[in-house]
């Protein structure tokens, strides 16, 4: 015996949760990518004084902004595709969430591989002595975004095949076609108007 079908309301609720998860995860990661992830102190040769700057998430972890854009695009793709295509989208969402979580965790634990030479080149002062201190607030937000992405992707993969797609809710399955209207018999007035239309077109109605 086949398993009972889920009610349409439950399917719409699951679809809404997946869309919210993708959208929220993408928005959080894009927001975090523009915020400071590391405070940088650059010691320049004497007599120049040291200077301070920050590295944003897009500089310290470039994949964060890319995954954010992917998640926002996936929120649209989940609605647009069905069946196996939706499962593929769910896998991409889960992978993007995993990358975000990995990047956020590395930021929290100070493992972003912020090499001094590379950082100096990034801020336009290659060859200077550079020290970095990680900022944990925005990596933590990225970790939350990653968890949301993984959960949304898993929900799409496990449940997405049965969800409604774009335009399905407006379709009327099995609606009977309207019967064709019976042709009205031609009257003398109809023939008179047809003759005038023929004259307007330059045709001879007597032919």
Which residue spans within the chain are E strands per DSSP? 36-43, 51-56, 129-134
Average pLDDT, the chain: 80
**What percentage of residues in the chain have a pLDDT greater than 90?**
41
Residue 77 lies in a domain: yes
Residue 206 lies in a domain: no
Residue 143 lies in a domain: yes
Tell me which residue range forms the domain holding 151: 8-166
Residue 104 lies in a domain: yes
- In this prediction, residue 127 carries a pLDDT of 54
The answer, yes or no, to whether residue 172 has pLDDT greater than 70, is no
Residue 190 lies in a domain: no
- In this prediction, residue 182 carries a pLDDT of 61
User: In sequence order, what are the residues at sequence separation of 6 or more whose Cβ sits closer than 8 angstroms to the Cβ of residue 145?
Assistant: 24, 25, 26, 28, 29, 32, 68, 97, 100, 104
- In this prediction, residue 114 carries a pLDDT of 61
pLDDT digit string, tens, across residues 101-153: 999 999 888 777 665 545 555 545 555 676 777 788 999 999 999 999 999 99
User: In sequence order, what are the residues at sequence separation of 6 or more whose Cβ sits closer than 8 angstroms to the Cβ of residue 204?
Assistant: 198
In our burial notation (b when 16+ CB lie closer than 10 A, e otherwise), range 24-38 reads bbbebbbebbebbbb
Residue 138 lies in a domain: yes
Distance CA 77, CA 94 (A): 14
Give the rounded distance of the alpha carbon of 47 from its chain centre.
50
Domain count across the chain: 1
Residue 180 lies in a domain: no
Residue 196 lies in a domain: no
Higher pLDDT, 6 or 184: 184
Lowest mean pLDDT across 73-82, 154-163, 183-192: 183-192
- In this prediction, residue 176 carries a pLDDT of 54
Q: Which CATH number does the domain housing residue 102 bear?
A: 1.20.140
């Amino acid at each position: 015996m086949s398993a009972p079908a889920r009610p349409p309301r439950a399917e719409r609720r699951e679809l809404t949760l997946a869309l919210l998860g993708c959208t929220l995860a993408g928005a959080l990661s894009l927001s975090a990518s523009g915020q400071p992830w590391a405070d940088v102190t650059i010691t320049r040769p004497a007599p120049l004084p040291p200077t301070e700057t920050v590295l944003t998430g897009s500089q310290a972890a470039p994949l964060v902004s890319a995954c954010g854009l992917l998640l926002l695009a996936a929120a649209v793709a989940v609605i647009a595709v069905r069946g196996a295509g939706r499962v593929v989208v769910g896998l991409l969402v889960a992978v993007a969430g995993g990358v975000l979580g990995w990047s956020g965790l590395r930021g929290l634990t100070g493992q972003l591989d912020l090499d001094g030479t590379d950082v100096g080149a990034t801020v336009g002062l290659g060859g200077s002595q550079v020290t970095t201190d990680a900022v944990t607030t925005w990596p933590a937000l990225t970790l939350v975004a990653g968890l949301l992405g993984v959960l949304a992707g898993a929900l799409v993969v496990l449940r997405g095949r049965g969800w409604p797609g774009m335009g399905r809710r407006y379709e009327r399955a099995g609606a009977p076609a309207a019967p064709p209207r019976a042709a009205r018999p031609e009257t003398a007035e109809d023939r008179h108007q047809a003759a005038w239309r023929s004259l307007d077109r330059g045709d001879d109605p007597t032919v």
